[in-house]
Amino acid sequence: NVPGEFLCAINQHVMSKPVRSPQGFVFEAETIGAWLKEHGQICPMSGETLERDDLVSDEALKKRIQEHHIRTMLASQAKHDEERDMYDFD
């Protein structure tokens, strides 16, 4: 249950270093870098020219992704703690 905005437009993986194109598409930095190297300076989403220097790090999105990871981890830990306490007869 990961928000769609956290997913790379190319491979739909959760991003750790999101970068935004001038057209507004968001990619994982390494993924779009590999795409541009393999396919040339073409945006995989729009087909328009796209150079590495056109991409801007999206720090606000990166922070939201990190916060989501922390919330998910804490919720998982809390669930684990509840299950463990259920069998604690001390």
Would you say residue 54 has pLDDT above 60? yes
- Give the pLDDT score at 75: 84
Mean pLDDT of 53-71: 97
Average pLDDT over the chain, rounded to whole? 91
Dmax (CA) for the chain in angstroms is 66
Mean pLDDT, residues 9-38 taken together: 98
Please, which pLDDT band fits residue 89 given cuts at 50, 70 and 90? Answer: low
The neighbour count for residue 50, using CB atoms within 10 Å, is: 24
